[in-house]
């Protein structure tokens, strides 16, 4: 018998690997959740979980069952969305996941336009580390997301743009470079000049930090990391104030406070860019409101001028 809540409760146990933790998340008592799991196992006809003192994990049958449940719930959600579309998509919700940089760059304009088109559709935003977005999509906790990573076969990716990432130089460095000036038209010919230089970087787990670490690894240099932050704006201001180098994505330029001390550059032979994708689960139904939001996002990012290749 199809009971959506029980199946979602079962998936929460699968995700947490612990009935106590799952019960706390769901607001249930542990005995009540244990009864639900036993009911699901009875319906399946065989054990789905192995119970140990340290937690629970899926049996082979449980892996198959969990995969089937996710597919079934996705189909159920798609059916409901089609019904809502028949009612002209004038209500409902969209769950959008994105990074802090994407949020600061895209949302101010998009939110106003979307609410004009669909005033009764709620837009729920999840701003988190970019590596956490794909799992949230796969688990059905998001409808759409903006990400730079395309390594999940259960998801569909639509390319939005390729964004150039620049290094920003502190005054103590760029003032010694002939012909360097404010802006993005500067090029460093010798990457070894960055060896052991002070850098302000985003914290590990952030997409831009992943790109920075990749750059250092491929260039064969070791930076001297003097500060890790969650704020691109803070990193930028510290670079301007002569504390060290940092990395700035082109998407952030629209909200970045730039002055005559803002000097950005690229490194010869080491291009820095990354491609932004709009992502959804494979086969997930897009309501008209979701399609409208997707269109607004595309129009916003493709209107960023030189940042699009």
Helix (H, G, I), strand (E, B) or coil at 300: helix
Helices 60-86 and 30-44: angle between axes, nearest 10 degrees:
90
**pLDDT computed for residue 85 by the predictor:** 65
Maximum distance among all Cα pairs of the chain, rounded to whole angstroms = 76
The predicted pLDDT at position 299 comes to: 84
* Amino acid 100: pLDDT: 85
Q: How far apart are CA 73 and CA 4, in angstroms?
A: 7
Q: How far is CA 59 from CA 33, 41, 91, in A?
A: 18, 11, 40
Q: What pTM was estimated for this model as a whole? A: 0.68
Parallel, antiparallel, or unpaired: how do β-strands 183-188 and 263-267 relate? Answer: parallel
Instruction: Please state whether beta strands 92-98 and 121-127 pair in parallel, antiparallel, or not at all (unpaired).
Output: parallel
Residue 120: the pLDDT is: 85
Give the domains, in start order, of the chain with CATH numbers: 4-71 (1.10.10.10), 91-156+275-303 (3.40.190.10), 162-273 (3.40.190.290)
Q: What are the residue ranges of helices labelled H in the chain? A: 4-16, 19-26, 30-44, 60-86, 100-117, 133-138, 171-174, 207-219, 232-240, 288-301
Q: Where are the alpha helices (DSSP H) in 220-266?
A: 232-240
User: Residue 269: what pLDDT?
Assistant: 94
State how far the Cα of 4 lies from the Cα of 6, in Å rounded to an integer. 6
What tokens were used for 261?
A: 């001390």
What phi and psi values does residue 129 have, to the nearest 5 degrees? -60, 140
The pLDDT value recorded for residue 71 is: 85
Residues 18-50: tens digit of each pLDDT: 999 999 999 999 899 999 999 898 888 888 999
Predicted local distance difference test score (pLDDT) of residue 245? 98
The per-residue pLDDT string of the chain (309 residues; one tens digit each, 9 = 90 and over) reads 457 888 889 999 999 999 999 999 999 998 999 999 998 988 888 889 998 888 898 999 989 999 888 888 888 887 777 776 656 556 678 999 998 888 888 888 788 899 898 888 889 999 988 889 999 998 888 999 999 988 889 899 999 888 999 999 999 999 999 999 999 999 999 999 999 999 999 999 888 999 999 999 999 999 999 999 999 999 999 999 999 999 999 988 888 888 888 999 999 999 999 999 999 998 888 888 888 999 998 887 765 433 332
Residue 5 half-sphere exposure toward CB, CA atoms < 13 A: 6
- Contact assessment for residue 125 and residue 141, using Cβ atoms and an 8 Å cutoff: no
Q: How many CB atoms lie within 10 A of CB 67?
A: 12
Type and span of the H or E element at 178: none
Residue 230, token pair as written in the block: 């969650």
Query: What SS3 state is found at 264?
Result: strand
């Amino acid at each position: 018998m199809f009971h959506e809540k029980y199946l979602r409760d079962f998936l929460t146990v699968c995700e947490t690997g612990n009935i106590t933790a799952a019960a706390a998340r769901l607001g249930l008592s542990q005995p009540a959740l244990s009864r639900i799991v036993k009911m699901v196992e009875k319906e399946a006809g065989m054990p789905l979980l192995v119970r140990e003192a340290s937690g629970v994990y899926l049996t082979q049958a449980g892996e198959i069952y969990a995969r089937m449940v996710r597919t079934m719930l996705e189909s159920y959600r798609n059916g409901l969305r089609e019904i809502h579309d028949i009612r002209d998509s004038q209500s409902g919700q969209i769950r959008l996941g994105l990074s802090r940089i994407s949020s600061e760059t895209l949302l101010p304009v998009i939110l106003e336009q979307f609410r004009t088109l669909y005033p009764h559709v709620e837009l729920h935003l999840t701003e988190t580390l970019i590596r956490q977005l794909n799992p949230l999509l796969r688990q059905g906790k998001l409808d759409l997301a903006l990400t730079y990573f395309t390594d999940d076969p259960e998801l569909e990716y639509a390319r939005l743009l390729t964004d150039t990432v620049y290094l920003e130089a502190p005054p103590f460095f760029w003032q010694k470079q002939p012909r360097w000036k404010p802006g993005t038209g500067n090029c460093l010919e010798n990457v070894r000049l960055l060896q052991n230089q002070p850098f302000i970087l985003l914290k590990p787990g952030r997409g831009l930090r992943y790109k920075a670490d990749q750059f250092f690894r491929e260039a064969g240099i070791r930076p001297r990391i003097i500060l890790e932050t969650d704020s691109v704006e803070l990193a930028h201001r510290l670079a301007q104030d002569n504390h060290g180098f940092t990395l700035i994505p082109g998407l952030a330029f629209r909200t970045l406070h730039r002055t005559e001390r803002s000097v950005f550059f690229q490194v010869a032979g080491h291009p820095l860019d990354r491609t932004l994708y709009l992502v959804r689960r494979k086969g997930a139904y897009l309501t008209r409101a979701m399609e409208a939001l997707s269109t607004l996002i595309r129009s916003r990012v493709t209107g960023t001028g030189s940042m699009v290749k």
